[in-house]
Amino acid sequence: MENPWWQGWPRNTYIIVFAVVLIVVAALVLYTYISFREAAIELILERDQQVVVLSAARLREEMDNLADNLETLAHTKELADESNSNRNIKLQEASPRLAVYDAGVVLLDHRGIVMASEPNRPEIHGEDWSDRIYFREVLADTHLYISDAVADGPEDALVVVVAVPIVGDQNQFIGALVGMFQLGEDTLSAFYASIVRLRIGQSGGTYVVDGNGRILYDTESDLIGHQITEDQREMIGSGIFAAVELTEDRDGHQIVAAHAPVPGTSWTLITEDDWDILTSSTRRYSRFLLFSFAAALALPPLGLTILSRIKRFSFVRAEHPSKEGLIFKRIQSACFPENLPMLPGWNLSRRIERADKEDGDFLFTWIQTDGYLVIATGWVEGKGISKVFALTSTRSCLKSASIRRLDPEEALGHCNKVLCSDQEEVHGVHCLYLVLDPGTGDFKYASTGVPIPFLISGEKQMPFYSRNSPLGIDMQTNYLRAEGHIDPGVSLVFINREIHKAFDHDGEKLYPDTLPSYQKGGYRMAEALADAILAKYQAVAKNNNRSARALQVFVLERVLSDPGEGL
């Protein structure tokens, strides 16, 4: 079967393709985010424009409501009768209904002459106000007119004028009734209360500006009567059309400025809303969207990187052992001599099977200058470079003790003190140190507890037990010496911890209880005994599905001087 066409690509091609795809996806994500942000801004601006247009229409309705009492009074017969000299009295009688006009009410005749006022302002009676724009507008249109700020209030104060025409029975123009709202008053006045009721610009400022650019109302009541700024004048332009824009206020904060003409007037309603407040909820969704996009972009490469590293790490572990493991295995191999010592009258045999992992077993043999055989065997706990250090230190200490011909208990005590003082991390070393006199068969040894040697004869086996802590744990530990003797035809067997703790199919420990059966079976040669022990262990391990472990069997047999001896 042919391989897929893409498997012929170089390895870098996959990286380039993935990078291109990632860039394209990132560009799409960025475009989507920018589009979302622009759409949100557009919706906010459009909403503010609609709000300001509706608010301007409602403001005009409020002004019409304020003019209702004035129009009702203008249509009464007393005021419509031009020959009636008691029209001033009629104004006084209607003063409770005209109280909403805090700057008063003025009655003009058809020529624009001031005929009466309420409250009474005698200083203006008889003046000619025909040049006033509100008089000319009601004269020409005979409809309600709302003026810009004019200085016609008491003591020439700035006022906003609401003028309604007075017409006769034949629909002829008789005069005008003028109601005035004084600028600068607090929000308890009817004029300002009508604007406040609209609840415009809750997150910023609100301004009502007349056709001359004079501020009639602002939220803080600090700028009433002042001219608007050049930026505001440029923004509203002619004031004919509603518009909205994103700009900055006097303090440099971003705001949404919207304006709309107030219908039937030259006024302009301006609202300024804080951009941060308007977009608070949008920003939350925007940040969440951006975070989601970032996660969508970052997680695939991150996942691929992690998977690649895991795969690479698994490959390295499977194909290339760690440097520390290699160092330990090399040192461990050096700790097992290739050739065992040759002793007259003795047969030495060793069987070793290694596992993939670091097992920590060791076996040292030396011949002293006096001809004695020294055997040191056991294993090292822990892992890594500190385990390597413990193994090399143990070998050096025991070798030094052998040269100095120390007794076994002294050799272990010396090694224990060195390991306790030199090791930064505690790694116990289990060890048996044995010294054999080949001429007599006598031996003496000291042990940390395991491994346990066994004397194997034709009829019995004899384990040697000792209970002490491992080397390198407690500097105060004292190790005890034991002695024994090997007769001709008897073997001294050493097995490592794995064989010692193995179980056979009957549920009993494989060793030491079953070792005599091998001797009875005729395995009197050291090599045959070692092979039989390994074979029995492997059979039991196979039945019990035990994984591959490190195995070691060392047999020291004293050979019969006469082949018929011992039969």
For the chain, what's the residue count? Answer: 567
Is the predicted pLDDT of residue 425 greater than 50, yes or no? yes
Same domain, 73 and 218: yes
Query: How many Å apart are CA 567 and CA 261, to the nearest integer?
Result: 131
Residue 523's pLDDT is 47
Query: How many Å apart are CA 163 and CA 160, to the nearest integer?
Result: 10
H-state helical runs in 169-279: 190-196, 230-236, 275-278
| Closest of 409, 550, 377 to residue 479, by C-alpha | 409
Token code pair at residue 177: 């009734």
Mean pLDDT lowest among 168-177, 261-270, 545-554:
545-554
Query: How many Å apart are CA 375 and CA 435, to the nearest integer?
Result: 6
Query: How many Å apart are CA 375 and CA 437, to the nearest integer?
Result: 12
Residue 478's pLDDT is 87
Cα–chain-centroid distance for residue 210? 55
CATH of the domain at 549: 3.60.40.10
Same domain, 150 and 255: yes
Q: Which residue type, as a one-letter code, is found at position 231?
A: D
Query: How many Å apart are CA 530 and CA 534, to the nearest integer?
Result: 6
Q: By the 8 A CB rule, do 135 and 146 touch?
A: no
CATH of the domain at 197: 3.30.450.20
Element (H, E) at 259: strand 254-261
Judge whether 36 lies within some domain. Answer: yes
Same domain, 211 and 359: no
Judge whether 340 lies within some domain. Answer: yes
Residue 374's pLDDT is 93
| Closest of 355, 443, 367 to residue 399, by C-alpha | 367
Q: By the 8 A CB rule, do 88 and 115 touch?
A: yes
Token code pair at residue 24: 């394209």
Judge whether 2 lies within some domain. Answer: no
* pLDDT tens-digit series, residues 21-65: 778 777 877 777 777 778 877 888 888 888 888 988 998 998 888
Cα–chain-centroid distance for residue 308? 23
Same domain, 476 and 372: yes
* pLDDT tens-digit series, residues 504-516: 444 545 554 555 4
Same domain, 272 and 368: no
Query: How many Å apart are CA 272 and CA 249, to the nearest integer?
Result: 8
Last residue of a domain, one of 263, 285, 307: 285
Long-range contacts of 399-406 (CB under 8 A, 24+ apart): 399/364, 399/366, 401/433, 402/366, 402/368, 402/374, 403/368, 405/368, 405/370
Same domain, 110 and 219: yes
Task: Name the 3-class secondary structure at 308.
Answer: helix
Query: How many Å apart are CA 51 and CA 200, to the nearest integer?
Result: 8
| Structural domain span for residue 550 | 325-558
Judge whether 9 lies within some domain. Answer: no
H-state helical runs in 67-115: 68-74, 77-80, 87-93
H-state helical runs in 423-525: 497-500, 515-520
User: Strand 442-447 to strand 453-456: parallel, antiparallel, or no bridges (unpaired)?
Assistant: unpaired
Same domain, 368 and 508: yes
Same domain, 378 and 499: yes
* Averaged pLDDT, 123-136: 92
State the Cα torsion 42-47-52-55 to the nearest 10°: 170
Judge whether 564 lies within some domain. Answer: no
Query: How many Å apart are CA 283 and CA 277, to the nearest integer?
Result: 10
Last residue of a domain, one of 260, 285, 310: 285
Q: Which residue type, as a one-letter code, is found at position 7?
A: Q
- Averaged pLDDT of the chain: 78
Query: How many Å apart are CA 46 and CA 243, to the nearest integer?
Result: 9
Token code pair at residue 53: 């247009």
Judge whether 528 lies within some domain. Answer: yes
Last residue of a domain, one of 236, 255, 285: 285
Token code pair at residue 92: 């006084």
Q: By the 8 A CB rule, do 488 and 565 touch?
A: yes
Judge whether 299 lies within some domain. Answer: no
Same domain, 331 and 280: no
Q: pLDDT band at residue 459, thresholds of 50, 70 and 90?
A: very low
Residue 135's pLDDT is 92
In our burial notation (b when 16+ CB lie closer than 10 A, e otherwise), range 442-453 reads ebbbbbbebbbb
In our burial notation (b when 16+ CB lie closer than 10 A, e otherwise), range 551-563 reads bbbbbbbbebeee
Q: pLDDT band at residue 164, thresholds of 50, 70 and 90?
A: very high
Same domain, 269 and 385: no
Contacts of 504 (CB under 8 A, 6+ apart): 510, 514, 536, 540
Query: How many Å apart are CA 119 and CA 139, to the nearest integer?
Result: 24
Q: By the 8 A CB rule, do 225 and 162 touch?
A: no
Same domain, 132 and 83: yes
* Averaged pLDDT, 267-276: 84
Same domain, 42 and 182: yes
Give me the number of domains the chain comprises: 2
Query: How many Å apart are CA 199 and CA 224, to the nearest integer?
Result: 18
Query: How many Å apart are CA 489 and CA 455, to the nearest integer?
Result: 11
Residue 502's pLDDT is 67
**3-state DSSP helix/strand/coil percent for the chain, to nearest 5?**
40, 25, 35
Residue 520's pLDDT is 46
Task: Name the 3-class secondary structure at 116.
Answer: strand
Of 161 and 538, the structure prediction assigns the larger pLDDT to: 161
Judge whether 314 lies within some domain. Answer: no
